[in-house]
Chains A and B, each alone.
Chain A
């Protein structure tokens, strides 16, 4: 199962890199979401996969009974998802503003800060 997930993460990376290189801000954002997912899954996978045993402590018990899923990566992924969303939301609105201000989403045409030199 770990192996298949490894392949999936690789595929997500490949897809997102390909999208980010398309030179279009909207596609960059698609790629960004996919890459975020890949990074989150990497943490999740690295902590090991345990089906059917959430890291909960039942009433009355001092600790979890039996082997439960690794809680730490889950906490990290939760944090990363929320942070990633914050960054994504900003990036999306930036793209929106970029379209309003610069009139394009084609990154090749965004040459205001670094204009082509006349020389």
Chain B
């Protein structure tokens, strides 16, 4: 199975190299698109195999675990790889209309594909230090993409993004060192077993907190999210869409992985803290969004708010809650990336993302209006769209666990979300444009390339909303694997000793 596990990783790297070699030439975008399509096929194949065979593991270089590096795909990893490939494919199409020749010359496609490779690697690796390496690949590629274009805002946002993410990285790296010192291993499955033998479990918890902070910065939770609203509104729209969809979710994924499989020795302590983090993240994010007047800034703060929902699922740590967290992850990536892509189209049609300086899209561009309403209402958790089921499961999980207040927060934050979404709707779509009487979509160049991925992702949102059963069943199985990592450990290390 090694080849199937490494394909989603190798393809974007190979694509990156090919795209770099022809950078500045028009074929770069086609190479990127083709590579993304092949990676998507590989990701689908991987998920099919995992669905049929359960957790699969591949020992890289043939060295047995826990000595070599193991790539592992359980349902969560496999679905994250697939959703990454879907997002990448959508953004690769969008790039045709969004990324100009100058950015291509500077290596946009190579950076983009490397980023996807890093994200995929993070989802697939079964080794803690290797996870760090993929984090760094992803991080350095994101640095490059963020500043590509060199606008003032980008440089300023880039400084804050780089500074805070480097702190996160170093915390994570130190945590790895300490955990290695306590257990002598780096393999996640091996760690899951060896942490139980550490005599000072309180010390282990302290180290766990180090990981929580490190991943918390990546995931942009309260009170560590500052880098996100400082930078996500500055780069190209394609870049902010792929960031919004994927980057924080790698942090969430890492948090879910570590705090279900390895740091599950003191749930009463760690997961109570996660519960508080979840609550504050949901609230501060959504209040931040309500205070903004820019399309992308609103969306950026909403990322934070919704990370809170995912952390809530992890914190409750019940089968239903984890089901909700997995469902929310998948739903959120599709919807959030899509909204950023739409922001790009709206900005091109109206001339800005500043909501007070644009308008008129409802009258002139009904297609875009519909395409906005679907993810916007999904984000706010309205039925029958994907976000509703995600929210419903998490609220139910909170109520079942008798965390009334968390259920209240989760619901109230939904209301504030609809408040922000309708702000965008009322200002950008309903309100007449203050200066341009007819800000029409049909004057936007390359609108086909821009609209196609948006429509595709919207259809996906609808499908998940209207026919959620397979996704629910899937998320349920993924959650069961997380709660009982035996299958994961057995797949990596062989039969239990």
A interface residues (Cβ-Cβ under 8 A, vs B): 20, 25, 28, 32, 35-36, 38-40, 42-47, 72-73, 76, 79-80, 83, 86-87, 90-91, 94-95, 97-98, 101-102, 107, 110-114
Contacts and interface: CB of A to CB of B under 8 A. Distances in A.
B83 to A, nearest CB: 27
Contacts of B140: 86-87, 90
Chain B, interface size: which category?
35 or more
A35 to B, nearest CB: 5
B368 interface: no
Main secondary structure of the interface of A (DSSP, over half): helix
B177 A91 contact: no
A46 B177 contact: yes
Contact of B155 (A20, A36, A91, A98): A98
Given A90-B143, A113-B234, A39 B177 contact: yes
Nearest to B185: A72
Given A35-B170, A114-B229, A87 B153 contact: no
A94 B162 contact: yes
A13 B489 CA distance: 35
Interface in B147-171: 147, 150, 152-160, 162-163, 166-167, 169-170
Contacts of A43: 173-174, 176-177, 180
A98 B174 contact: no
A28 B163 contact: yes
B184 to A, nearest CB: 9
Nearest to B233: A113
Contact of A94 (B133, B152, B153, B159): B159
B139 interface: yes
Interface in B174-225: 174, 176-178, 180-182
10 pairs of A and B residues whose beta carbons are closest in the complex: A46-B181, A43-B177, A42-B177, A113-B157, A112-B156, A113-B156, A39-B173, A46-B177, A113-B153, A39-B174
B292 to A, nearest CB: 10
Contacts of A101: 150, 152, 155
Contacts of A38: 170, 174
B304 to A, nearest CB: 15
Q: Which residue, of B144, B170, B234, has the highest number of chain A Cβ atoms within 10 A?
A: B170
Contacts of A76: 129, 176-177, 180
A60 B85 CA distance: 49
B136 A94 contact: no
Contacts of A97: 147, 150, 155
Q: Which residue, of A43, A101, A114, has the highest number of chain B Cβ atoms within 10 A?
A: A114
A10 to B, nearest CB: 12
Interface of B: 129, 132-133, 136, 139-140, 143-144, 147, 150, 152-160, 162-163, 166-167, 169-170, 173-174, 176-178, 180-182, 229-231, 233-234
Q: Which residue, of B136, B140, B166, has the highest number of chain A Cβ atoms within 10 A?
A: B166
Contacts of A47: 180-181
19 contacts: A20-B163, A36-B170, A38-B170, A39-B174, A42-B177, A43-B177, A87-B136, A87-B139, A91-B162, A91-B166, A94-B158, A97-B147, A101-B150, A102-B152, A102-B156, A112-B156, A113-B153, A113-B157, A113-B233
Contact of B153 (A45, A46, A112): A112
Given A43-B174, A87-B139, 10 more contacts: A76-B180, A79-B133, A86-B136, A86-B140, A87-B136, A87-B169, A94-B159, A97-B147, A101-B152, A112-B153
A91 B161 CA distance: 11
A69 to B, nearest CB: 15
Given A87-B166, A94-B155, A94-B162, A113 B181 contact: no
B396 to A, nearest CB: 37
Nearest to A25: B159
A40 B180 CA distance: 13
A20 B163 CA distance: 9
A93 to B, nearest CB: 10
Nearest to B157: A113
Contacts of A73: 177, 180
Contacts of A107: 159
A83 B182 CA distance: 24
B331 to A, nearest CB: 29
A79 B158 CA distance: 25
A40 to B, nearest CB: 8
B337 to A, nearest CB: 21
A72 to B, nearest CB: 8
A46 B176 CA distance: 10
B131 to A, nearest CB: 12
A94 B180 CA distance: 33
B181 A114 contact: no
A95 to B, nearest CB: 8
A101 B234 CA distance: 15
B173 A80 contact: yes
Contacts of B174: 38-39, 42-43
Contacts of A44: 177
Given A39-B174, A90-B140, A114 B159 contact: no
Contacts of A72: 180
A73 B169 CA distance: 18
A28 B159 CA distance: 11
A113 B180 contact: no
A91 B181 CA distance: 30
Contacts of A45: 177, 181
A46 B158 CA distance: 33
